[in-house]
Structure 1
Amino acid sequence: MLQPIETERLLLRPYHISDISTVQKIADDKAVAETTFIPYPYTTEKVGDWINSHSTLLKNGDAYPFAVVVKDENQLIGTMTIRIDKVHNKGELAYWIGKDFWGKGFATEASKRILDFGFNELNLNRIWAPVMKKNIASAKVMRKIGLSYEGTLKEDVFRMGNYEDVEVYGILKKTYR
């Protein structure tokens, strides 16, 4: 069972079926989809399938998806996930934050805590993150939390009719602060 994790302003907790409509409302936003890897449109059915997949992902240790909730308002604002590659003992950091909550430091605050979770609780050797090159805000988050730019995958993903470059950021446990 995935235990909730707290930061100063946030609660990172497992998803509940009751979150489906909130997630669909926040994530089914073209501005969010254009700079992330989430489906668009993000239908209630797709969100439900994703949330229903969590129990298997968690049971197998394949991924740890957390709902990002602002504690003071009990408001779900996004997702913070670490996907595990057991063969290579590394994790992929993936997240999205609803547009209304951009620019408030929530992604940085939650990502820092997920790095700690990945290195200290999951004992991973490396954590990395793919970021669309045009997502300048996420690239800033990666640098703020200590990940280093490792390279660009040219036209790596096809999103909304365009091939997009993806930047890769990463950090090793031995260099983690």
Structure 2
Amino acid sequence: MIFDHQNKTITTKRLVLRLFQKSDAVAVTKLCNNYNIYKNTLYLPYPYAIEDALSWIEHHLGNFNANKSYEFAITNKESGELYGAIALSNNQKFNNGELAYWMGEEFWGNGYATEAAQAILKFAFDEKQYHKVFARYFNSNPASGRVLQKLGMKLEGILIDHVKKEKRYEDLVHYGIINSVEL
């Protein structure tokens, strides 16, 4: 993983994680206007319109520069094609942050989410000096849980019927990892 401070990019073996640009709005809309992504995410609207993408992208640079959150586009290193998004919140008071991601359905099952998440974890611990990174997913989406397990995250608990999605309550499964360099 290589973090380029000036360009705010992270490069991995197959991917470049970079800030979203307004020009990504069409691709984001195409990927996010998908029921299967919507049903596995907490805050993504559906149907998803270009206005949703633009208003979401609008605050990324400011949040990054203010150290509030880091939202990256997951893109193909060679072609630049957009695969999805990965984000890390920054809770400065507690020196931790939440990892969250979504991947376009056509890119599921290729290990891109895991590769991007490994890079973000390294960014959190090495660059930002976090003590802990945590993540949560719907119990009905075990694929997301497998990504977290591959990162070495540990199950911390399950919040039963914690959120309501489409008139149905969902369990939120919490995972976390402590910065081992710190210990």
Asked if Structure 1 and Structure 2 have the same fold, meaning a TM-score greater than 0.5 normalized by the shorter chain, the answer is: yes
- Residue 3 (str. 1) matches residue 8 (str. 2): yes
**What residue number does 1:24 align with?**
29
The yes-or-no answer on 1:112 pairing with 2:115 is no
Q: CA deviation at 1:39?
A: 2.0
Deviation at 1:59, TM superposition (A): 2.3
Identity of counterpart residues, as a percentage?
36
1:76 aligns with 2:82: yes
Q: Does 1:90 align with 2:107?
A: no
Q: Report the equivalent of 1:41.
A: 47
What amino acid is aligned across from residue 167 of structure 2 in structure 1? G
Which of the pair is proportionally richer in helix? Answer: 1
Distance in 2 (CA, whole Å) between partners of 1:43 and 1:28 is 7
Shift of 1:53: 1.2
Q: With the length of structure 1 as denominator, give the TM-score of the two structures.
A: 0.95
Please tell me the residue identity of whatever aligns with 1:130: R
Q: Give the deviation of 1:175 after TM superposition.
A: 7.0
For residues 49 and 168 of structure 1, the distance between their equivalents in structure 2, rounded to whole angstroms, comes to: 28
Distance in 2, matches of 1:25 and 1:51, equals: 15
For structure 2, list consecutive stretches of 5 or more residues without a partner in the other structure. Answer: 1-5
Q: Partners of 2:159 and 2:7 in 1: how far apart? A: 33
1:132-171 correspondence to structure 2 within 5 Å: 132-171=138-177
RMSD, matched Cα: 1.4
Partner letter of residue 9 of structure 2? P
**One-letter code of the match for 1:144?**
K
Name the residue aligned to 2:71.
65
- The answer (yes or no) to whether the contact 2:19–2:61 under 8 Å persists in 1 is no
After superposition, the C-alpha distances for 1:1-22 in whole angstroms (9 at most, x for unaligned) are: 6611111000000110000010
Distance 1:2 1:128 in 2: 26
Q: Runs ≥4 in structure 1, deviation > 4 angstroms?
A: none
Instruction: Report the equivalent of 2:17.
Output: 12
Letter in 2 for 1:86: Q
State TM-score, norm by structure 2. Answer: 0.92
Q: Secondary structure at the match of 1:85?
A: coil
Residue 56 (structure 1) shift: 2.2
8 A Cα contact 1:2 1:64, kept in partner: no
Counterpart residue type for residue 26 of structure 1? L
